[in-house]
Amino acid sequence: MRAARLRRGEDIARVRSEGMRRTATFFSLRALATDEPTVRVAVAASRAVGGAVQRNRARRRVREAVRMALAARANARTGTDLVLVVRREALTAAATDLRVAVERELGAVLG
């Protein structure tokens, strides 16, 4: 399954206000079912995570974990918008721990 990027500010705000919330050690996840044929993903990091380099690294790590998790779930329900807000712990987490956390949360949301 291939995910599209969720880019429009209005769409992200709608997911954040109306979507269901799941929390993990490394990120917070909001999910909202849509009529779209794809899963759309936005990954954000606040300045609390660190400087620009640290925020970008944390976003890239989480985005890659989401990409791998969605590739493994080829038969998952489509039509969902996801917004992941990265936490500081994602910077130092082992890649396997990050991937397991993403797979667990996506499994709960996408079925």
In 1-111, beta strands by DSSP E: 3-5, 20-23, 27-33, 39-45, 80-86
CATH code 2.90.10.10 for 3-110: no
pLDDT at position 1, please?
A: 46
Domain residue extents for the chain: 3-110
31-76 pLDDT, tens digit per residue, is: 999 988 888 999 999 999 999 999 999 999 999 999 998 888 776 6
pLDDT at position 56, please?
A: 96
Average pLDDT over residues 105-109: 90
Among 42, 95, 105, CA closest to 65 = 95
3-class DSSP assignment, residue 82: strand
DSSP conformational letter for 75: T
In this model, does residue 5 exceed pLDDT 60?
yes
Among 30, 41, 90, 89, CA closest to 67 = 41
pLDDT at position 2, please?
A: 54
pLDDT at position 102, please?
A: 94
3-class DSSP assignment, residue 44: strand
In the chain, % of residues over pLDDT 90: 72
